[in-house]
Amino acid sequence: MISFNIPPYTGKENEYIAQAIGKRKICGDGEFTRKCSQWLETHTGTAKALLTTSCTHATEMAALLIGIWPGDEVIMPSYTFVSTASAFALRGAKVVFVDIRPDTMNIDENLIEAAITEKTKAIVPVHYAGISCEMDKIMEIARRHHLSVVEDAAQGVLSTYKGKALGTIGDYGCYSFHETKNYSMGEGGALLVRDEKNVERAEIIREKGTNRSQYFRGQIDKYTWMEAGSSYLPSELNAAYLWAQLEVSGRILENRMASWNRYREGLKALEAAGKIELPYVPEDCGHNAHMFYIKVSNLKERQELLAFLKEHGVSAVFHYIPLHSSPAGRLFGRFYGEDRYTTMESQRLLRLPMYYGLAEKADRVIDAVKAFFK
């Protein structure tokens, strides 16, 4: 069976975790956390990157930082992972879902402005499959309406839009290092803070609402409770695992890109024959080979293909059930405008196995997909 995902492992993980244990420093903000944060800052150009316990938690931090209060509204796509919405619902926000573009599966930037009301506080673009939303347009709308922008860049680590790293364009960017993502620490993530002026509060919220980070740097002589926060910093053990990946990020990216291109080459004849659709990467977007998906005709054909692939030893998956049709989505959100593409396109999409080290196994997946359409 070809797995859908295998968590990345590059060889140095055990050694680094042993080093963290050896230093008798396994809580947060030690040497490995510092290395990972600095790496993220260098490679993205953000003012500050703070490692977190998940992308979900990074998004919760962003909601606290931009000051979401009960009754505020936040605009996002319905075609996304639960956490994008849940982080804001926790603060009492109403989630306003807007339709996606069928070509990238990202929020349709042309539908956002009409969904804005006097209660709107933020726009939350999700860079699906590590392929960027139309950020120039989104930032321009946000500026005109004085809204914050929180990028869900969970899938977009090392992707770019017009040369800028995803997660650095909006006020805050949220990365995931879950085991299904390109770079992993088991469970973990990062919050990217674009503006220097917001860094201090971000550090406070991450450290249970205290100014302990300043204390550790020797900037103050005692630390105290400053505002409502939580514990969002990961253990050094997790950071040590992540460092082994970031250190060889280029190798991981190249390896995934080779598989991604192999899929695209191998399946383009089926696309030309009108049997399937392949991912579209707009010109301004540099992607990170996070995901390879195909789209078939409809829900029924997808179910048949999933079953066929399983029979032929390939584990493929689908996602997401649109959030506006979920129980919590109905409670915390509403769909603005018409659902032209969200539901329909989500039912056509199927993700093929993709992980570091997939290599020639991709050919067996391609053969199985071709055999189905014969």
Ligand X SMILES: *Cc1c(COP(=O)(O)O)cnc(C)c1O
* Residues forming the site for ligand X (CB under 6 A): 54-56, 80-81, 83-84, 126, 152, 154-155, 176, 178, 189
Nearest residue (CB) to ligand X, 171 versus 301: 171
**Which are the contacts of 298, defined by CB distance < 8 A and separation ≥ 6?**
347, 348
Smallest distance, ligand X to C-beta of residue 81, A: 4
Nearer to ligand X, 61 or 270 (CB): 61
Distance CA 303, CA 296 (A): 10
Token pair belonging to 6: 């295998």
* Alpha-carbon gap, residue 245 to 12, rounded angstroms: 8
**Cβ neighbours around 293 below 10 Å, total:** 22
Q: Which residue's CB is nearer to ligand X, number 226 or number 252?
A: 252
Nearer to ligand X, 46 or 59 (CB): 59
Outline where DSSP puts E strands in the chain: 48-52, 73-77, 94-98, 120-123, 148-152, 160-161, 164-165, 172-176, 189-193, 285-286, 293-295, 333-335, 349-351
CB of 56 to ligand X, least distance (A): 3
Shortest Cβ 187–ligand X spacing (Å) = 6
Rounded to a whole number of angstroms, the minimum distance from the CB of residue 57 to ligand X is: 7
Q: Which two tokens stand for residue 347?
A: 């039912």
Name the one residue in this structure whose structure tokens are 């450290």.
207
Which CB sits closer to ligand X, 351 or 370?
351
Residue 190 or 368 having the CB closest to ligand X? 190
Least distance in angstroms from the C-beta of 37 to ligand X: 16
8 residue type, one letter: P
CA 304 to chain centre: 29
Cβ of residue 53: shortest distance to ligand X, in angstroms? Answer: 8
The Cα angle at residue 97 between residues 96 and 99, in degrees rounded to 5: 145
Tell me, rounded to whole angstroms, the distance of Cα 184 from its chain centroid.
Answer: 12
Q: Minimum Å distance from CB 181 to ligand X?
A: 6
DSSP state of 180: T
Cβ proximity to ligand X: between 126 and 270 the closer is 126
